[in-house]
Structure 1
Amino acid sequence: MKSGLPKVLHQVAGRPMVWYAAALARKVSDGIVAMVVGHGADKVKAYLNEEKEQWEPFLVVDQAQQLGTGHAVLQAFPVLSRTQDEPVCQVLILNGDTPLLTEETLTALLAYHQRESATLTLLTTELTDPSGYGRVVRGSLGEVLRVVEDRDASVEEKTIREINVGTYVVDHEFLGQALAELQPQNAQGEYYLTDIIEQAVKQGKKVVGWATPDFQETTGINTRVHLAMAEKVMRRRINERHLLAGVTMMDPDRILIDESVVIGRDTVLYPGVILEGRTHIGDSCVIQANSHMKDTVLGRAVVVQDACVLQGALVEDEAVIGPFAHLRPGSRLHKKSKVGNFVELKQTELGEGSKVNHLSYIGDAVIGQKVNVGAGTITCNYDGFQKARTIIEDEVFIGSDVQLIAPVTIGKGALVAAGTTVTKDIPPNALGIARVQQMNREGTAAKRRALLQARKTAEQGARSSRDPRESSKKSANEIRQSS
C-alpha cells in the first residue's frame, strides 16, 4: 500500500477494512471471534479500543512475529477452544483485507461444508488472469488436492484459472492437529496455512472447494488500485441498498454514501451529494446538489439546498438550509427554522421558526423562537483568548450589518437597529441602536468633486512640464483637433 497506516485500517466507504471482516464474522456466527493483529498492531488495537462497544465480544490476539498465515491461525487457535457452553465444531478463517466478501457467500460456503460433510472447505473463484494467486489443483473427481503458489507453479499449473481466496471452513479437531504439524517453508521461517490442505489429503480427509461466481468480492486489497476498485464496488452496493429501501437518487453514480449512513424513505438526493460518518437522515428530506454532510442528523422533511456543508449538526423537522450554508459542529436547528445563503453557524442553537437568511456568522449563540437575524450579522465571540456566548431571546428582530460583542444578551421582543454594534445587554422590548448620528451638508458633494478635479488637472500639468513626451502628445492632439 506504500503507507504508514496498517493495511486493514485503510477505509472503504468510510469503514476500515478490518471492520468489514469483523462485522461479517459476527453476522454468520454467534460463536467465539478472534482477531489476529500483527503489522501495526498498536494502531489497529487503538482503533478497536475506540470502537470497543461493538468489538467487546471479540478476542484480540497478538501476532508479535509475522511468520505467515499458518502462524497467525496458530496464535488464535488456543482462544478458539475456550467455550463453556458446547464444543467448537468448525472454524471459519477470514482475511482482514477482503472487504467485499458478502454474508450470502459465506452462508453458502458454510452450508456447502455441512452438506459435503467435509473436513476442510476453501472458497475459490476463477480469474481471467490469475497471475500472482495460488492455484487450486483438483483431482479427477473434482476434489481439491492442493493449492500451489504462483511462484512454485509448473507451466501446466499456471494455466489453471481457479484461485484460492484464502477463506476456509475447517473442522476444529483437525485444525488443531494440522497446525501442530506445520513446518516453516522458507528462509524467513514462515508457516503457510495452505499446507493444511495437503495434510488433510494425505490423511484421507475430504477437502472441497466452493467457487463464488463473483470474483470481485474475493479481491484482496494490496495496492491503492485495489482499494479504489473496492471503494467503487462498495459504494454501488450501498446506493443500491438505499434505492431498494425507498430513497430516490437523481444520479446514483455521482452520489457518495458511507456504509454507516442511515437514510429514511422518500428522501431525494441530487447529484454530487456526499454523506459520511454517523449521518442519519429522516424521511422525506431533500438534499440538493453538491451538499456534503458528516456526522449529522436530519429530522423529517428537511430541505438542504445546493452546496451546503454540515458537520456534526442536529437539524429538526422541516428546517431549511442553504444554499451555500455551513453548519459546523454543535449547531442545532429547531423545527421550521431557516439558515440561508452564505451563513455559517458554530456551536449555536437556532430556535423554532427563527431565521438567519443571509451573509452571517453566528457562533457560540443561543437563539430563541421566531427570531429574525438580518443580513451581515456577526457574533463577535472570540477576544483572542477565549470564546464568549451570545443569547438572543424569543421574537427579537435584528437589522442588517449588526455586530454582537459577546458576552451579550438581547431580551425578548427587542429590536436592534441596522448597523449597530452591540456592546451591552438590550432589555426586552427595547430598541438597541449604537451608531453616529447622520448629518446632511448641502452642496458638499459638488464642492468636493470640483476640488478633486482641480487637483487632478494640476497634477497632469506638472507631469507634462517634466516629460517632453507629454508635450509632444499634447501638440499632436492639438493638430488633430485643428484639422
Structure 2
Amino acid sequence: MPLHVLILAAGEGKRLRSAQPKLLHLCSGVPLLVHAVRAACELDTDSIHVVVGPKDEASRAALANYPVAFAVQDQPSGTADAVAAGCEALESSSGTLLVLNGDCPGILSSTLLAFVATSAGADASVLSVKPEGSNDYGRLLRDPDGRLVGIVEASDAMAHQDTSPEVCAGVYCFDLEALSGVLGKVDADNNQGERYLTRVFSILSAAGATVSAIPHVDAAELHGVNSRVELARAEAFLRHRKLTCLMESGVTVRDPATTYVDVDVSVGADSTLYPGTILEGSTVVGAGCVIHSGVRVTDSQIGNHVTILDGTIVEESSVDAEATLGPYARLRPGSEIGPGVKIGNFVETKASRLGAGSKAGHLTYLGDAHIGENVNIGAGTITCNYDGSKKHKTVIDDGAFIGSNTALVAPVRVGKNSYVAAGSTVTKDVPDGDLALGRGRQVNKAGWTKKKD
C-alpha cells in the first residue's frame, strides 16, 4: 500500500518569542524541522509533503536538499486545516498517510516504521505516551472496555479527562480514504477556535470505524518543542543520545554532562573528549585524537591522532594527522594544517596552509599565507596581509626559518631554506638560501646611564 508522509510546519511558534520561525531554531546543530524530515526520508515512502505558511520561504530554503514537496496552509486555523492542505497536494487519494509534527527532533525513523506497521488495518491510529509531570498534549479518551473513542485537547479537557495517563504524541497514521471522508466534518467548537486533527478520532469512532492508540515507551523521544525550555530539553536529549552512541563506538567522554557534540559530528574510535569540549556542525574527528577542555571545533575536519589543547578554537578548517594545536590557538576559516604541524599558544591562522612538520609555537598571526614543509615560525611573527583595501599573500617555502618578532609585509616570498633574522621587517622577496636582515643596527651608548643621572 502506498505510504505518504505529511509533516506539519506551518505553526507560528509564538511561545519561543523569536523573530525566527520556530522550526528553524537549531537543536543539536540542525533545524528542528530538518530532524523530522530526515526521519521521514529514511522510510520507504511514495511522497513526503511539508505543510508551510504562505510566506515561509525560509523553511523551503532549509529543505532545498531534501526530496520533499510543499503544501501551503493559507491561515493558521488548526491542524485539521493543515492536513487538509496537505491532502490537496497529494497526487493519490488512497494508501496510508503518516502525519507528524515538525517540532519533534528526537523521533527516530525506526519508531515511525514500527508505528506504520502496527497501524495496518486501522482507519486512524495515534502514537501515545505516558509522560511525567504536567503537559499540554491531547488526552486520550477510552470507553469502559478500553477502546479509544477520542482525543481531547488539554485546553478543552474537563477535570476527569485531564487525569488521563495517556496523551497524544502528535504522530498519526490514517487510511487516506477514511480520512478524506471526515476531515470536512471537523469543527472549531473549542476554546482555541481551531479545527483540530484530533477531532477526527471521535468522529470516526462514532461512525464505527477502527481507531487505535499505539503506546510508545520512550516519551522523551517524542517531546515537542514549543518554548525555549522545551528546546533546551530536546537539545539535552539529543546530546545524551549522541554521546551514548559515541561511547558505545569506542570514544572516551570524560564528562558527558559538560561535553557538547552535535548530531552530524563524527568522532573516531579511541579518541578522548575532555570536559567542556564543543564539536559543532559537520565536524569530523579522526581516530585516536585527544581534545582537551574548552575546545570548540566547528565544521572542520580533524585527522587521526591530533591533539588539541585547552581553549583552542577551530572554524571551517582542516587539520592533518599527528598535528598539535594550542593551548589557546585559533584556526579561522580556510586554515589547512598539514601532518605533524605544531600550532602553539596564542597563534592565529586564517586562510593559510602550513606544510608537514612546520611549527608556529607562540604568539603569531598567519593570514593568507602559504607555508611549506619544515618551516619554523618564531614567536611574535606577523604576516601583514592587509594594506587597507586588499588582502595579499605571504609565501614561505620549505625549510625556511623565520626569527622571532618578524613582520612579513605581503605580498612577499621567503625562499627555500632561507633565514629571516629576528626583529626584521621583510618587504622584499628573500631568495632561496639567503639571510634577510631588515632591522635597525644596534648602537650602544657607553656610559649613558651615568650621564643621564
TM-score (norm 1): 0.87
Per the TM alignment, residue 337 of structure 1 is displaced from its structure 2 partner at its CA by: 1.2
Question: Whole-Å Cα distance in 1 between the matches of residues 393 and 141 of structure 2?
Answer: 72
Give the Cα–Cα distance (whole angstroms) in 2 for the partners of residues 175 and 81 of structure 1. 15
Q: Which of 100, 107, 117 is the matching residue for 2:113?
A: 107
Letter in 1 for 2:262: D
Q: Secondary structure at the match of 2:106?
A: coil
- Report how many residues are paired: 438
Q: Does 1:75 align with 2:85?
A: yes
Task: For 1:327 and 1:127, locate their aligned partners in 2 and report how far apart those are by CA, in whole Å.
Answer: 44
- The alpha-carbon distance between structure 1 residues 121 and 63, as it changes in their structure 2 partners (threshold 3 A), is same
Q: Displacement, 1:5?
A: 1.1
- Alignment-derived partner of residue 376 in structure 1: 380
Structure with greater contact order relative to length (CA < 8 Å, sep ≥ 6): 2
Percentage identity across aligned positions?
A: 39
SS in 2 for 1:391: strand
How far apart, CA to CA, are the structure 1 residues paired with 2:133 and 2:279?
A: 36
CA distance in 2 between counterparts of 1:218 and 1:336 reads 45
Residues 130 and 161 in structure 1, CA contact (< 8 A), matched pair in contact too = no
Q: Which segment drifts farther, 312-321 or 97-106?
A: 97-106
Describe the SS at the equivalent of 1:28: coil
Q: Following the alignment from structure 1 to structure 2, what is the Cα–Cα distance between the partners of residues 355 and 187?
A: 68
1:297 maps to 2:307: no
In structure 1, give the amino acid aligned to 2:124.
Answer: L
Q: How does 1:100-139 map to 2 (within 5 A)?
A: 100-114=106-120, 117-130=121-134, 132-139=136-143
SS at match of 1:445: helix
2:35 to 20, 32, 38: 20
Tell whether 2:109 aligns with 1:94: no
Query: 2:170 maps to what in 1?
Result: 166
Cα distance change, pair 131–337 in 1 and its aligned pair in 2 (3 A): closer
Mapped to 1, the partners of 2:217 and 2:192 lie a distance apart of 35
2:4 paired residue number: none
Deviations 1:279-322 (A, max 9, x none): 11111111111110001101111111111000011111111111
| Correspondences of 1:269-308 after superposition (within 5 Å) | 269-308=273-312
**2:17 counterpart letter in structure 1:** K
Question: Which residues of structure 1 form unaligned runs of 5+?
Answer: 451-483
Change beyond 3 A, Cα 1:229–1:131 = closer
- Equivalent residue runs for 1:69-468 within 5 Å: 69-82=79-92, 88-114=94-120, 117-130=121-134, 132-185=136-189, 190-448=194-452, 450=453
* Structure 2: unaligned runs, 5 residues or longer: 1-15
Match of 1:7 in 2: 22
**Counterpart of 1:418 in 2: which secondary structure?**
coil
Q: C-alpha displacement at 1:346, in angstroms?
A: 0.4
CA distance in 1, matches of 2:38, 2:367: 39
How far residue 441 of structure 1 moved from its aligned partner, in angstroms, is: 2.5
Distance across 1 between alignment mates of 2:86 and 2:417:
68
Is contact 2:96-2:173 (8 Å) kept?
Answer: yes
Cα distance in 2 for partners of 1:380, 1:62 equals 53
Aligned to 2:368, the other structure's residue is in SS state strand
| Superposition deviation, residue 39 in structure 1 | 7.7
SS at 1:353 equivalent: coil
Q: Secondary structure at the match of 2:61?
A: helix
Distance in 1 (alpha carbons) for counterparts of 2:225 and 2:442: 70
- Contact 1:130/1:163 (8 A) holds in 2: no
1:111 is aligned with what amino acid? A
- The answer as to whether partners of 1:14 and 1:260 remain within 8 angstroms in 2 is yes
Whether the 8 Å CA contact 2:54–2:72 is kept in 1: the answer is no
Q: 1:178 to 1:164 in 2, by over 3 A?
A: same
